[in-house]
Structure 1
C-alpha cells in the first residue's frame, strides 16, 4: 500500500483544497449545511482527514455520470456493496484537488475518456464503512460529470456491472443517497462547460 502523503506545513495540497471547496460550497438545504459544517470541522481537527488512514473518517470523492441531455445516468453495480451506485472512492497521493479525485475515480471506473466535470460539488453524504477494523466514516463529496457524445464505457474490476439508466427509472437495489444525487445533479449541476 502506498503511504498517504503528509499535509504540507503551509497547508497546500489536497487537504487545503478540500477545506477551500467545503468552506465555499453553498449547501442547498439545512441538512446539507449541517454536513458541510461537520466536514469542515473534521478537516480542521484532522490534518490527515483526506486519507483512508484517518480512522474516525475521511473525505472521499464520488461522481454521478450523466449524458449530455441529463436523461441518462451511468451507475455501477458495486462488487462489494451489491447495489447500484455512483462512481468514486478514496483520495490518492497524486490527487491535487477533490474535483480531480472525483474525475480520476469516474474515469477509472467508467472507462470513459473525456468526462467533463464542473469543479462544484452537487451534494455531500456521510456513511459508515469498514475501512478499518473498528469502523470508520466516508465523508463523501459528490460531483456530477457529463459523458461526451458516443462515449463507450467499460466495466472495471470494482464492478459486477456498469450500465446507463433513465434518470427517472433507476434500478434496484439503489439507495436514497443515489436517488437524491441523481435528482440534484439533473436539476442543479453546472453544464459541461461551466
Structure 2
C-alpha cells in the first residue's frame, strides 16, 4: 500500500528526494517497514485543517517539547499510512469526522531523527505526511492534559514551530488551503 502511494510521488527538493530514496530502499529491504524493531521505520502523520477558516491544528508533544502535527506508529498489522494518520489523528484530537483532504495524496516525506529515551535507543522515523480535514473544529479535545491542541492560522503555525521539516509541510499545506 505505501509503495503504491510513493510510486508516483515526486519529491519537491533534493533533501526530500534523498529521504524518499531511503524510504523506497527500506520498503524494498523489509517485509515490515512499520516495525519499531529496526532503526529506521515508517510512521504516518498529518496536519489537520479546517478549510473554511484556513486554520491548522497543532498538538504539543511533551517528549519533543514542540508544537507538531498529529501522527505516529502503525499498530501491529496496519499497513495503510492514511489509515494510521486517521487513527492517530482521531486518538490525539477526539475529532470524529477526520477525512483526507483534498485527497489522500502524500504531501511530504521526511526522515526525522528521534533521540533515545529510557530503554528506547535513538532511531529515525520515515514519516509519510498527509492532510486531514474536519468540519467540526470546536470538537477537538486533547488526548491527555499534557498534550494541548491549538488551532492556528498558517502564520501562527509557522511561528509556533521551529522544526524546519514541519515548517516545510505547513508551507505545502498553506498552498493547498489557498488554492482549493
Could you state the TM-score of these two structures normalised by the residue count of structure 1? 0.80
- Which residue is 1:139 aligned to? 126
Alignment of 1:1-194 (within 5 A): 17-54=1-38, 56-69=39-52, 71-117=54-100, 118-129=103-114, 130=116, 133-157=120-144, 159-170=146-157, 171-188=159-176
Checking the alignment, whether the CA contact within 8 Å between 2:97 and 2:136 is kept in structure 1 is no
Q: TM-score scaled to structure 2, two decimals?
A: 0.86
Separation of aligned partners in 2, 1:93 and 1:123: 24
Distance verdict in 2 for CA 1:158–1:18, change over 3 Å: farther
Q: How many residues align?
A: 174
Of residues 17-26 and 150-159 in structure 1, the stretch that sits farther from structure 2 once superposed is 150-159
Gap regions ≥5 residues in structure 2: none
Return the structure number with greater helix share.
2
Answer yes or no: is the 8 Å Cα contact 1:111–1:156 preserved in 2. Answer: yes
User: Partners of 2:146 and 2:162 in 1: how far apart?
Assistant: 15
Give me the CA root mean square deviation: 2.3
147-156 or 130-139: bigger deviation: 130-139
Cα deviation, 1:31-65, whole Å, max 9, x if unaligned, reads 322221210001111222122222x2100000001
Deviation sequence 1:61-103 (CA, Å, 0-9, x none):
0000111136211000112111100000001125341111111
**Contact 2:161–2:167 (CA under 8 A) maintained in structure 1:** no
Segments of 5+ residues of structure 1 without an aligned counterpart are 1-16
CA distance in 1, matches of 2:87, 2:79: 11
Cα gap change, 1:73/1:159 in structure 2, threshold over 3 Å: closer, same or farther? farther
